[in-house]
Amino acid sequence: DTEVTQTPKHLVMGMTNKKSLKCEQHMGHRAMYWYKQKAKKPPELMFVYSYEKLSINESVPSRFSPECPNSSLLNLHLHALQPEDSALYLCASSQQRRGNQETQYFGPGTRLLVL
Amino acid sequence: AQSVSQHNHHVILSEAASLELGCNYSYGGTVNLFWYVQYPGQHLQLLLKYFSGDPLVKGIKGFEAEFIKSKFSFNLRKPSVQWSDTAEYFCAVNPYGGSQGNLIFGKGTKLSVKP
């Protein structure tokens, strides 16, 4: 089973709203990732969690706040977003094995529209 | 800077035609290489990957890719495409020993297969 699930599938929010995106995997993976994908562009890495600790933040604005409550869950809290933040937000996970031979498995994404 | 180049932005083929999508990367060290596919309205799925060993790797749905180290290339091939192969194809590189989660994507190639 290589399934990563994400909720909600679609989200529309105003610039003053607070919302959260959720990601879940039950593959026993210890690394989880958030990517942002704009239309007709490749995914861009935002955050990486390793063993529930934030290990990479790719200079993402503070209006995006990640959280990893446990090894299976990853949240992305959104506050005061801008219209240009509208995109597909992808979650991925990988096993976190020695030797860096990591394969990332992606969820279906949450399509976010900021009005 | 590390980069991944996909030479073709949009490829249009008829069913049963052969496919080759180019991918070159700029990193000089050992790399892990991936091809992902994104069908319309669906999430990124792993097609195939190369870590080490036989440079010709076979993936799902009849796809294969060849790693040519001297050319820094990892081209994707399929002998006979089907209409259902219509999708966006992304080449991705993880520089071995690079920061965790450092998966660098190419800009993608849109494949349209005419029935």
Residue A13 confidence (pLDDT): 94
CATH class as words, domain B3-114: mainly beta
Tokens of A111: 């399509």
Question: Across the beta sheet with A18-25, what order do the strands follow?
Answer: A4-7, A18-25, A73-79, A64-70
Residue in A48, A105, A108 closest to B101 by CB: A48
* CA–CA gap between residue B103 and residue B96 (Å, rounded): 10
**pLDDT tens digit string along A67-105?**
999 999 999 999 999 999 999 999 999 987 665 678 899
Residue B93 confidence (pLDDT): 92
8 Å CB contact of B101 and A33: yes
**pLDDT tens digit string along A42-62?**
999 999 999 999 988 888 999
Q: Which residue of B has its CA nearest to A93?
A: B101
Which residues does A82 contact at the CB level (< 8 Å), separation at least 6?
A15, A63, A114
- Cβ pair B46, A105 in contact under 8 A: yes
Please give the sequence-ordered ranges of beta strands (E in DSSP) within chain B, or none if there are none.
4-5, 10-14, 19-21, 24-25, 31-38, 44-50, 56-58, 64-68, 73-78, 87-95, 104-105, 109-114
Q: Which amino acid is at A38?
A: K
Chain A CB contacts of B106 under 8 Å are: 42
Distance from CA of B109 to the nearest CA of A (A): 10
8 Å CB contact of B90 and A42: yes
C-alpha distances (whole Å) from A85 to each of A37, A55, A60, A107 are 10, 23, 11, 19
Please give the sequence-ordered ranges of beta strands (E in DSSP) within chain A, or none if there are none.
4-7, 10-13, 18-25, 31-37, 44-50, 53-57, 64-70, 73-79, 87-94, 105-106, 110-114
**pLDDT tens digit string along B60-106?**
999 999 999 999 999 999 999 999 999 999 999 988 655 566 789 99
| Residue ranges covered by each domain of chain B | 3-114
8 Å CB contact of B43 and A101: no
Residue A105 confidence (pLDDT): 92
Q: Which residue of B has its CA nearest to A48?
A: B101
Distance from CA of A74 to the nearest CA of B (A): 15
The answer to which of A2-6, A71-75, B34-38 has the lowest mean pLDDT is A2-6
